[in-house]
Amino acid sequence: MIGMKFFFTILLMSLVFTACETKDLIGAKEYNYTRGDLNEGSLESGIEFDGIQSISQVTDSSVILNWINIEDASSYYIYVVENGSPTFIESVFAPAEEFLVSGLKNGTTYNFMVRAKDSNGQLDANEVMQSAVTLSSPISPSILTMANPLFNHGTEPNPHVLVFGVNPGDTVRVYSDNCSTQVGSAIASLSYVRVELSGLSVGTSYSFKADRYTVNKQSSSCSVLSVNYELTRCPHGYVYVPKDSDLESDPFCVMQYEAKPWSDSDSDNKVDSIELHSSGCNESACTTKDWGTASYKPGSSAYGHPWRMVTIETAKELCQTLGDDYDLISNDEWMILAKSIEAHSNNWTGGVLASGKLFKGNNGLSNINSYDSIFSTGVDLGIGRNSLAALTYFDGSSNETIWDLSGNLAEWVDWGQEDYVSYINYLCPDDWADLDINFCDGKLNEEDYLPFNPGNITSGYNNEYGLGLIEGGLGRALLRGGSYRNGEYTGLFNASFAYSVNSAQKDIGFRCVYRKPVE
C-alpha cells in the first residue's frame, strides 16, 4: 500500500523534476522530428561551443539531448542528421541545457547535433554528433499512487490514480487486475498522467496496475508495481443506514461509536488506537470547554475516551470539518436509527420483539437492561465491553451494530439539517415525563420523538419498556439518549430540550454522520 506520505514524496519529486525541466527548457517545446524545417542560420559565429554532450532517458519513442550552456549563446538549434545532412528540429533559448525529442520510431538509430547561436544571429560551426537507438518496445509504467482520494480506501466511486514513468502522447491504461480488466485510461502530456477510474464495486479491494500504448502503436508490459484501493460504502468507522420509505428518508452513514478526539498521525484516514487522546477532554476532571478543536478531529473507534465537554455548535463544526457531506447527526436520522433498533429482537431483554425491556446501556445502574461503568469517570470505553451498550439494526442486507445510542454520554442532536445548528421554535414544559403525544402541548410531530411501537403494545408503552423519558426546558438545544448520570431516564428515545447553545458538560458528547454513501 502506498500511503499518503509516500504519495506526497513521489509527487514532490515529480514536480521538482518537472520544474527543473521547465527551467532548463525555457522556450522549448516537445517536438516530433518528422515535422522538421529546413536548416536555418549561418556558420559564421566565432563563439566556442562543444556541441551535444550526451543522450539520456532513451525510450521507444523519445530521447533527451544534453549539452553545456555557454555564456555567449542566445539560443541553441537542434538537428537530426540523416544521410550526413542535418535537418532543423527546433530552437530553445539559453540557458537551456537539454531538449526532449519525442515522436520517434521504436528500434531505430538516430543521430543528433546541437549548435549555439550568438546575439548576432550567427551559429557556431561544430559538427559533433551523438547517436541513440530507441528501444524496440516500451517500458512499463514505474509507479502508481492514489490521487483522489489520497488514501487506499474511501467512498469515491470514481477514484483517480497517478501513473508515473510514461511519455507524452502515451495512452495510459489502468486495470483492476493483471492488465486484463480495464477501468480507466488517459493520454499523457508529461512524464506522469492522472487517470479517472470507473465501474468499481462497493466492498471490493482492488490492486490497480497499468500499461502504456505508445505513439508507435505498441503496448508495454503490465506494471510491476500496483496501488491498492478499497471502495467502501461508508467512511472508516461508520455504519450504513438505509433509507426508510415510511419516513421518506435518504440513506446515510453514522459513526458506530461516539466521537473520539483523533489525530491522524499516519495520514491514512483510519482511526488507530494510538491516535486517540487518552482522556477525551484534556484532563481527567474534564473541565476545559470546547477543548482540542485545533489539534483533533472527530473519529469513530471502539478505543479511547469519547469527546466530551463541547457545545452543540462546536460539535457541529467539528463534524463539518471532516469534509463535504459530513455533519452532526440530525433528529430525523436519530429517529430512523431508533425505529430500526426498536424493531429488532436482539435489543430486547426477552430476546423477542417487545418482550422485556429495550437495552439502556451504561446509565450508572446495574439492572436487567443497563449497567454501571467500571471506570471512575463513569464513561465506558474500549473493547470487550458490556453487550447491553450494543444495539442491533438491519442495514438492508445484514445485521449491523452501533454503540451507546442509549447511555454512556448524552449526545448533541441537530433538530434539522441546515449549515448551522437548528432548534425547536417554541418552549416546552421542563419536567421529565413519559413519552406521550401530549408532550409540549402536542406541538411536536409524533415522528420527531415518539417510539414506533412495532410490537403493537396496546397500553402503557412507556419507560417501563426501557424507552427513556423526555424533558422540556428553556434551552431548546436537543440532547438524546441520556448519559451515565441519568439512570432510568436514559433510553433510545430519551430526549431533553433543557440545554442551551452554550451548554457543555462532561457527560455530553456527539456523533457525526456522512450523507453521501455509495449505493
- Residue 46 burial (CB < 10 Å; 0-12/13-18/19+)? exposed
Question: What pLDDT is recorded for position 46?
Answer: 79
Within a domain: 188: yes
Distance CA 40, CA 218 (A): 34
123 and 167, same domain (yes or no):
no
Cβ atoms of 450 and 435 closer than 8 Å: yes
Are the beta carbons of 379 and 448 closer than 8 angstroms? Answer: no
Cell of 476: 431548546
Among candidate residues 65, 98, 133, the one where a domain is terminated: 133
- Of 515, 460, 470, 459, nearest to 492 by C-alpha is 470
Q: Identify whether residues 226 and 263 lie together within a single domain.
A: no
* Tally of structural domains, the chain: 3
H helical segments located in 426-479: none
Does any domain span residue 274? yes
> What is the predicted pLDDT for the residue at 299?
98
Q: Are strands 153-154 and 227-231 parallel, antiparallel or unpaired?
A: parallel
Q: Is 362 in contact with 386 (CB distance < 8 Å)?
A: yes
Distance of alpha carbon 146 from alpha carbon 7, whole angstroms: 7
Residue 56 grid cell:
539520456
CA distance 364 to 358: 16
Asked which of 86, 115, 133 is the last residue of a domain, the reply is 133
CATH code of residue 227: 2.60.40.650
At residue 44, the pLDDT reads 64
- In terms of phi and psi (left: phi > 0; alpha: psi -120 to 50; beta: otherwise), the region of 351 is left
Pair (52, 190) in one structural domain: no
Q: How far apart are CA 498 and CA 469, in angstroms?
A: 13
8-state DSSP, 464:
G
* Residues written for the chain: 519
pLDDT of amino acid 247: 87
Match 500496483 to its residue by C-alpha cell: 226
491 shares a domain with 471: yes
> Hey, what's the torsion of the CAs at 512, 516, 517, 518, to 10 degrees?
-160
CATH number of the domain where residue 108 is located: 2.60.40.10
CATH code where residue 323 lies:
3.90.1580
Backbone angles phi, psi at 413, to 5 degrees: -135, 130
How far, in Å, are 258, 274, 330, 492, 515 from residue 319 at the CA level?
12, 21, 12, 22, 12
Kindly give the parts of the chain with pLDDT less than 50: 1-42
Contact present, 389 and 339 (Cβ < 8 Å): no
Q: Are residues 171 and 306 in the same domain?
A: no
With respect to residue 71, please indicate whether it lies within any of the assigned structural domains: yes
Cis peptide before 306 (omega within 30 of 0): no
Question: Of 180, 207, 231, which marks where a domain is finished?
Answer: 231
Instruction: Tell me which amino acid residue 519 is.
Output: E
163 located within any domain: yes
Same domain, yes or no: 345 and 482: yes
Answer yes or no: are the C-beta atoms of 386 and 359 closer than 8 Å.
Answer: no
Instruction: Map residue 297 onto helix, strand or coil.
Output: strand
Which residue segment(s) compose the domain that 183 sits in? 143-231
The reply to whether 320 and 396 lie within a common domain is yes
User: DSSP 3-state helix, strand, coil percentages of the chain (rounded to 5)?
Assistant: 15, 30, 55
Maximum CA extent, the chain: 109
Judge if 270 and 357 occupy the same domain. yes
Same domain, residue pair 261 and 346: yes
Residues 410 and 310 both lie in one domain: yes
Domain assignment of residue 138, yes or no = no
